[in-house]
Amino acid sequence: MDIKITQGMTIKEKLGILSDAAKYDVACTSSGVDRKGDGKGIGNATAGGICHSFAADGRCISLLKILFTNECIYDCKYCLNRKSNDVPRASFTPDEVCELTMEFYRRNYIEGLFLSSGILYSPNYTMELIYQTIYQLRTRHNFQGYIHVKAIPGADATLIQKTGMLADRMSVNLELPTAEGLRTLAPNKHRKNILAPMRQIQTGITESRHDLMIYQHAPKFVPAGQSTQMIIGATPESDYQIMAVAENLYQKFDLKRVFYSAFVHVNEDKDLPALPGGPPLLREHRLYQADWLLRFYGFKAEELLNEEKPNFNILLDPKCDWALRHLEYFPMEINRIDYQMMLRIPGIGVKSAQRIVKARRMAKLDFSDLKRIGVVLKRALYFITCNGRMMYQTRIEEDYITRNLLNIKEKLPFQTNGMTYKQLSLFDDKNFDAEPTIIDSQQAAMGQL
Amino acid sequence: MVIIMTMEKTILICEDSIEGVFSGIYEAYARKYVHSQTSLQIGATENYELFAEYKQIAAEEEKAKKVSRTIIREFGEETYLTFCEALATQDLEKGNAIYHVLVDGLRTKNNRIMENFAVADVNKVFELCRYTKNEIQHLKGFLRFQELEKGVLFARIGPRNNILTFLAPHFADRLPNENFIIYDDTRNLCVVHPCQKEWFLMSADNLQEEETRNYSQVEVAYQELFTFFCQKIGIRERKNIALQTQMLPLHFQKYMSEFNDKVYK
Ligand code: SF4
């Protein structure tokens, strides 16, 4: 296999160029699959994922996140690697990627590999290289750690299928929330070419699950599920449009995660917004909060936003914001309200709600119990009663509560790379030791817990 | 004349270990103490309470095992693990809290005792267990192996809780073909895993400091590569050291090769 130029570059130089080029990809969790080692090879995986380090931007480092090559035949306007940019180019060989992965993994630097790539020659050529690399890792090196690879839009379905049998997670980047945005900023990409592999992976996952029910040892296709990401703030979509797209992806494509990436201005181009305030981090943060509400709290996009109110409140998180606009539901009686509704109370997260449901089977709960359970009372107190009583005499009145909630300073970490516990803490759930499992969220959705 | 009998408190002094605490619990039952008047204490105190009877309880494997079996039978493996994790902390109230959770659970025949969060002791045990669990979770990621001569992987950690035995199974499953050592330098203990064999715990008295610095030829190069990677992967426009330190506290960074020369802050 011949690979362009990079002879004479050291592995360090390549790593520098190709990790630098991969850093804007935010989907770097190592979660979604539990796998024990087989006792012969190397590696295992845990469903919650593991953070191995944190970069200076506060984002978790979990996988060796690199591009295979930053050569690219396309010219997406937001991307540093676009064809028309004059930047240093490099390509790894499959052996080099294997060596780095194995040596980093043994030293416990990483949970596995995240391999993306610019388009070298053609989508097929690139996908084949990615496939070869992870084939080597899984077979020759007997690597059982986590592998996340990109499916390259436009590559043959058989290649994507083969790759999916070896990877834990696959993702196809939506890039921009709407087809129109894509047309302006990524002229070589087409919405339908992006959705086609997404659909294929979805079908593959469903079939594989079905096979597993019949034959216990059927090989697994993309067992940690599929994710995608979109760039926020490069094109003029509203938060409502973005959330509607995300909801659609969760429902129609069974995506495991949608990631939002605040646009970082790297190229001068008349079609790109200037963003003098830097990347829109607060907006990205609100989108992650809302995403969390969709996945684990049983909210629907149109409950949070609508045509008249298409963007999130800058001052309040989307859950508080919803509660304030729906005071007719409050106060809720903690000893009676069902789990599903409880999740809508500001200051109560998934874990606290689960603990409340368990604990109230044994005794009637009062405010001190809630405190011990991890409910953030300073937020929840406006919305709940215990045994018919509110914590203090308070008015249930939008202005009054809003003022009080705004006095509680919201923690804004701007750490939104998708690592789980941080996001739970956004909802003041002190019990952020684990991501709610899929089962939890399904049960949450059906109000079973 | 009426003699008022005040019920005397009994305080059982136990060793700071799972075995020690479980032996204490065993004795509390065996000697039929009134549980509400009895408490378990880890290690000797400086302040002796008046009107309290102090009993030193020796750790005995057999007794501890009986208590373990009872816990597993009555409350299940998960609760047992929760207790063990709580006991890995340095909190001195841990033994007493577990003792009273157990008494409560057995008295009310509640096999889901750890779900009764309204009980203060249950909460205490839960908090402690979570504290340990968080540290285990952190170190599964933050622990760094360094390759020594002859290919042995060596990791040094300074955990707040006694978690070596919780970490070992994870790494043994992950790296079955490696000879590795994880060394807890606050407790001077280490876990040793020989390639394709069972791991074991031992005192680190014989560990030679120089030997642990005797890196293999390629080791430094990989440390540099990873440090370099960590620098490159951060997005400059989003720089946020406060967040980095919040997510990865300095007491962990101290042991991590990529932070040794502080180059990437
Ligand atoms: S396809 Fe577009 S986004 Fe991807 S590397 Fe090439 S130019 Fe960049």
Nearest to A80 by CA among A94, A63, A67: A67
Into how many domains does chain B fold?
A: 2
Check A431 against B130: CB less than 8 A apart: yes
Nearest to A291 by CA among A253, A257, A315, A262: A257
Map tokens 């202005």 to a residue.
A399
Q: Could you tell me the sign of the dihedral formed by the alpha carbons of A22, A26, A27, A28, in that order?
A: positive
Q: Write the burial class of residue B25 (CB in 10 Å: 0-12 exposed, 13-18 middle, 19+ buried).
A: buried
Within 8 A by CB and 6+ apart from B69, the residues are none
Bridge partners for B155 per DSSP: B145, B182
Cβ of B149 under 8 Å from any chain A Cβ? no
A76 lines ligand 1 (CB under 6 A): yes
Domain presence at residue B175: yes
Cβ of B225 under 8 Å from any chain A Cβ? yes
Pair B49, B122 in one domain: yes
CA of A209 to the centre of ligand 1 (A): 32
What pLDDT shows up at residue B136? 96
Indicate the residue type of A227: S
A81 lines ligand 1 (CB under 6 A): yes
Domain boundary among B134, B161, B192: B134
pLDDT band at B6 (very low <50, low <70, confident <90, very high): low
A97 lines ligand 1 (CB under 6 A): no
**Helix runs in A6-110, H state only:** 11-20, 94-106
Pair B204, B156 in one domain: yes
ipTM of the complex: 0.90
Tokens at residue B206, please? 């014989």
Pair B96, B151 in one domain: no
Check B147 against A372: CB less than 8 A apart: no
Q: Are A75 and A86 in contact (CB under 8 A)?
A: no
Q: Which CATH superfamily is domain A11-304 in?
A: Aldolase class I (3.20.20.70)
Q: Could you tell me the sign of the dihedral formed by the alpha carbons of B112, B114, B119, B122, in that order?
A: positive
- CA angle in degrees (0–180, nearest 5) for A175-A177-A180: 95
What pLDDT shows up at residue A120? 94
Residue range(s) of every CATH 3.20.20.70 domain in chain A:
11-304
- Give, in order, the Cα–Cα distances in Å from A45 to each of A143, B159, B173: 11, 23, 10
Q: How far is CA A7 from the centre of its chain?
A: 36
Q: Which atom of ligand 1 is nearest to the CA of A73?
A: 6
Pair B14, B62 in one domain: yes
Weakest mean pLDDT among B45-49, B179-183, B201-205, B236-240: B45-49
Strand-pair category, A146-150 with A169-171: parallel
Pair B157, B81 in one domain: no
Map tokens 């060793």 to a residue.
B15
| CA–CA gap between residue B187 and residue B206 (Å, rounded) | 14
For B215, the 3-state DSSP assignment is strand
The residue in chain A having the minimum alpha-carbon distance to the alpha carbon of residue B245 is: A58
pTM: 0.87
Map tokens 């105190």 to a residue.
B45
Domain boundary among B78, B108, B134: B134
Pair B13, B130 in one domain: yes
Domain boundary among B101, B134, B167: B134
Domain presence at residue B113: yes
CA of A174 to the centre of ligand 1 (A): 12
B233-249 pLDDT, tens per residue? Answer: 998 888 888 889 989 99
Pair B151, B102 in one domain: no
| CA–CA gap between residue A401 and residue A326 (Å, rounded) | 12
| CA–CA gap between residue B157 and residue B159 (Å, rounded) | 6
A354 lines ligand 1 (CB under 6 A): no
Domain presence at residue B128: yes
A82-111 pLDDT, tens per residue? Answer: 999 999 999 999 999 999 999 999 999 999
CA of A182 to the centre of ligand 1 (A): 12
Q: Which atom of ligand 1 is nearest to the CA of A83?
A: 7
Q: Could you tell me the sign of the dihedral formed by the alpha carbons of A284, A285, A289, A295, in that order?
A: positive
CA of A227 to the centre of ligand 1 (A): 18
Residues of chain A with pLDDT under 70: 1-7, 27, 411-449
> Inter-axis angle of helices A398-407 and A318-325, to 10 degrees?
160
Indicate the DSSP class of residue A434: S
What pLDDT shows up at residue A415? 38
A90 lines ligand 1 (CB under 6 A): no
Bridge partners for B38 per DSSP: B10
What pLDDT shows up at residue A422? 34
Domain that holds residue B72: 9-134
The residue in chain B having the minimum alpha-carbon distance to the alpha carbon of residue A419 is: B247
Within 8 A by CB and 6+ apart from B29, the residues are none
Tokens at residue A394, please? 């308070």
Strand order in the sheet with B189-193: B145-147, B153-157, B180-184, B189-193, B200-203
**pLDDT beyond 80 at B133:** yes
Pair B88, B158 in one domain: no
- Give, in order, the Cα–Cα distances in Å from B120 to each of B82, B98, B104, B186: 16, 11, 11, 31
Torsion angle of the four alpha carbons B242, B245, B246, B252, in this order, in degrees rounded to the nearest 10: -170
- CA angle in degrees (0–180, nearest 5) for B159-B161-B167: 70
CA of A77 to the centre of ligand 1 (A): 9
Q: Are A157 and A137 in contact (CB under 8 A)?
A: no
Cβ of B13 under 8 Å from any chain A Cβ? no
Task: Residue A33: count other Cβ atoms within 10 Å of its Cβ.
Answer: 18
- Chain A positions in Cβ-Cβ contact with residue B258 (cut-off 8 Å): 53, 109
CA of A125 to the centre of ligand 1 (A): 15
- Chain B positions in Cβ-Cβ contact with residue A359 (cut-off 8 Å): 115-118
CA distance B89 to chain A (A): 17
Domain presence at residue B1: no
C-alpha gyration radius of chain A: 23
Q: Which atom of ligand 1 is nearest to the CA of A79?
A: 8
Indicate the DSSP class of residue B212: G
- Chain A positions in Cβ-Cβ contact with residue B231 (cut-off 8 Å): 56
Pair B32, B127 in one domain: yes
H or E segment to which residue B155 belongs = strand B153-157
Report cis status (omega within 30 of 0) of the bond before A331.
yes
Mutation pick for ligand 1 pocket among A20, A23, A74, A272 (CB with most ligand atoms within 8 Å): A74
Map tokens 């939002």 to a residue.
A260
| CA–CA gap between residue B89 and residue A155 (Å, rounded) | 53
**pLDDT beyond 90 at B90:** yes
Within 8 A by CB and 6+ apart from A259, the residues are A26, A27, A227, A228, A229, A230, A417, A418
| CA–CA gap between residue A29 and residue A277 (Å, rounded) | 28
Cβ under 8 Å to A: B residues 118-147: 118, 120, 123, 130, 133-134, 137, 140-147
